[in-house]
Amino acid sequence: MTAPTDPLRSREFRRALRGWFRLRKRDLPWRRTLDPYAIWISEVMLQQTQVATVLSYYEPWMRHFPDVETLAAAGLDDVLMHWQGMGYYGRARTLHRAAGIIVRQHGGKLPCTCDRLGEIPGFGPYTAGAVASIAFGEAVPAVDGNVARVISRVLGLSGHSSDPILRRGITEILKPVVPKKNPGEFNQALMELGATVCRPQIAHCNECPVSVMCTSRERILLPGVASKRDSRPVRTIPVLRWTAFLVPGGRGGFLYRQRPMKGLFSGLWELPTLERHYEPKGGLFLGEIEHRLTHRTIRLHVYRLRYLPRELAGTEYSAFRTPPAVSVLIRKALVLAEGTVRKVSRPSADRVIPGTLR
């Protein structure tokens, strides 16, 4: 990929970007530390999760797992329990696995370079660049979707900010641009600009500190006008119809089983569930739950039964009085079973309504 890089190399670009960031940056807890572990945790949590949601999880996580040694020594169920509700649970399992490697192979210290971080599971180019630049001061790019969008607009590049080819090209463009002094601040300023001003559909160019150097401002991103450059076609979200059963498991608890370590809700526990619509004989219908995920919607019919359906016999189950690490979907089913509507212990983007939970 070739592109004019003069705007990025100019002293005015860096000065304007940094000055804006120091005045307008959001006060976020992970920006108050240079602890590599804390920065790593925040970067992983922020993948596919909004800042407002991460704020509810980050500090409780850091209190429970204050360092990489504590995380590595914890059981996976404990890790998943403190992650539940944030989604994309593979991130939590990879964090746990990576913590073990860091303890065993690196003496409990995160490697201090982007290349060495990249050898650890879960450290892709963006995460490695972010931790290396912010925590260790290495002058390397950290290109996420926000940074890719900002740079592609400034330079007039085509393509969507999620395109891996575009991101790799922008990473190469930024390698000679990232300053040796405070590279982490430079990277965070680009991220912040994309997150708060140069947004996907609406670019607030009048608030942008580098708009006078932006190739796209007059041609595409007029103030208050939606950008066609970074838009995607509308997709139809598939609806999955599942059925879950609350079956007594002794001592006032219910039966649960652990989902496979790959796939949807991987590694979490669930009530006995059929991933299809099913009407059992003799069951008490409790209601329907609608749970929206990024790429699909699940409509879950919930029944109370005395015994497992024949279709689920032969699977290994465990009885718990207190629910283990479960997804928000299953927590909604448990709320429904209680016969009252209450706020769940972790925040969810979905509302809880009697009878039909949405």
Distances (CA, A) of 258 to 4, 89, 298, 344: 52, 13, 19, 21
Amino acid letter, 265: F
Q: Is the torsion defined by CA of 206, 212, 214, 217 positive or negative? A: positive
Q: Which residues contact 52 (CB under 8 A, 6 or more apart)?
A: none
Rg of the Cα trace of the chain?
A: 23
Dihedral angle computed from the Cα positions of residues 246, 248, 251 and 257, in that order, rounded to the nearest 10 degrees: -60
Place of tokens 């209601």: 287
Dmax (CA) of the chain: 74
Annotated catalytic sites, by residue?
Answer: 43
Phi and psi at 289, nearest 5°, equal: -115, 135
* H helical segments located in the chain: 6-9, 11-24, 36-45, 51-64, 68-73, 76-83, 90-106, 114-117, 125-136, 145-155, 164-174, 183-196, 328-338
> Does residue 245 contact residue 283 with C-beta atoms inside 8 Å?
yes
d(CA 142, CA 347): 29
